[in-house]
Structure 1
Amino acid sequence: MAFSLPSARFPLSLTTLRRVALGAVLLPAVLLVTDPARAEMDLPLESPIVKLMMSQNWPEFKRTLMGGTNANSTDQSKQPLLVLAARNNMPQAVEILLEQQAKIDLQDSFGNSALLWAADQNNVEILEKLIRAGANVNLQNRQGVTPLMRAAEKGSVASVEKLLKSGADASINDYTGRDALSWGQAGGNGKIQRLLEKAR
């Protein structure tokens, strides 16, 4: 049996109607995840402090934290604010959070610290801020990955040099047995490989 809508110029089958309805449900989700780093920030249940940080209104963000909001708050996926700031390349947020005594080595649900995310994003500015504040350069995530391994894979010479000078241990293995040099070889940067070979 065919169905038609008043505005349609042709009949629509039940199967077609179902597909249209499904598309109407899925389209907003597709649009939402086109920017993965910010997708979850658009959720109505996200906390006000997370929304404020993602809006990059730094004066208001700082005032809110100074007014008593916990600098170690997390988003809906349990990412601490500092981790979220590093993951999204927000040096201003990192600086404000450190000023407000955010715990520097908090990890997300996968064990990733803010320093690991700074290395992953090749953000030397954030990396340096975190190291100066005392971040553990050898802190491993749940797969045993360190910031040095991630920086080596991503090909950031400046990040690798900074981590090594700050005490990063190139001999640490992840839980598959790979060390930072192995990660560097996967990244294909010859200078990084030479730096790590000397650091072994």
Structure 2
Amino acid sequence: MRAAAGPGWPGRRIVLTSLLGSMLAACGGREAKGDAVLNEELLAAAARGDAAAVRDALQAGADIEARDGRRRTALLLAAAADHVEAAGVLVEAGADPDAQDARQDTPWLVTGVTGSVAMLRTLLPADPDLTVRNRYGGVSLIPACERGHVDYVREVLKTGIDVNHVNDLGWTGLLEAVILGDGGPPHQEIVRLLIAADADVNLADRDGVTPLAHALAKGQTEVAALLRAAGAR
């Protein structure tokens, strides 16, 4: 004969259900939140630079290579915003520095755009592909030359990156420094660094125009003098 449940049973059932939910949440979080929610938390934490939340999301089971609507990974979001500590957590956990988004950007490539030496150094232990190309066919050195990121250019040249890489526009880092630069002190220093790294000062663009010819046409007298001293014609 089964004993009557008694008037207190419904209340006890609610309490037990609540306790069970709490226990599931404490055991990793997957059952309570679901993978999609964990992935969203990881991406959001990386984007805002919350290293502790990044670590928590990974420990709870988030996919380290999860993508947002623009196919950006957590490491790419952290790198683009220069959140070095968060990126460090992701690199230590094995995040891919070469994962490309919908615009063909990667965590490594965006360092050439931001010019962050700290992020460059954070990503190097992940062994990024120095030959990976952006949507313009350029390696990370080229946008850094264009934007006048002197410290970054100095540092990335130490990696052995191809100083004479030609992008889809037919430009090297040296050509971009001249064509898209303003000839001021930062771009002058970048030209010096490139020359010291054995950049081909006579490697012309697809129209046959050399770096020296571009410098003269733009009135960049200091840059032109540096190029001439290096044997430019």
TM-score by length of 1: 0.73
Residue type of the alignment partner of 2:92: M
Residue type of the alignment partner of 1:189: Q
How much has 1:44 moved relative to structure 2?
A: 4.2
How much has 1:163 moved relative to structure 2?
A: 0.4
Residue by residue over 1:112-151, the C-alpha shift from the partner in whole angstroms, topping out at 9 and shown as x without a partner, is: 1111111011111110111001111100001210111111
Alignment map for 1:33-182 (pairs within 5 Å): 44-45=69-70, 46-153=72-179, 154=181, 155=183, 156-182=187-213
Residue by residue over 1:81-130, the C-alpha shift from the partner in whole angstroms, topping out at 9 and shown as x without a partner, is: 22211112222211212232111232112111111111011111110111
| CA–CA separation in structure 2 for the residues paired with 1:50 and 1:136 | 23
What SS does structure 2 have at the residue aligned with 1:182? helix
* Identical counterparts, % of pairs: 18
Q: Does 1:190 align with 2:216?
A: no
Q: Is the 8 A contact 2:131 2:139 kept in 1?
A: yes
| CA–CA separation in structure 1 for the residues paired with 2:214 and 2:87 | 37
What SS does structure 2 have at the residue aligned with 1:161? helix
Higher-Rg member (1/2): 2
> CA, structure 1 residues 176+195, in 2 after alignment: closer, same or farther (shift >3 Å)?
same
Q: Is the 8 A contact 2:94 2:126 kept in 1?
A: no
Residue type of the alignment partner of 1:67: A
C-alpha RMSD over aligned residues: 1.6
| CA–CA separation in structure 1 for the residues paired with 2:195 and 2:94 | 37
| CA–CA separation in structure 2 for the residues paired with 1:164 and 1:56 | 29
Residue by residue over 1:31-60, the C-alpha shift from the partner in whole angstroms, topping out at 9 and shown as x without a partner, is: xxxxxxxxxxxx743322222223332112
Structure 1: stretches of 5+ with no match in the other structure: 1-42
Structure 2: stretches of 5+ with no match in the other structure: 1-67
Counterpart position of 1:20: none
| CA–CA separation in structure 1 for the residues paired with 2:159 and 2:148 | 18
Q: How many residues align?
A: 158
| CA–CA separation in structure 1 for the residues paired with 2:123 and 2:214 | 31
> CA, structure 1 residues 64+193, in 2 after alignment: closer, same or farther (shift >3 Å)?
same
TM-score by length of 2: 0.63
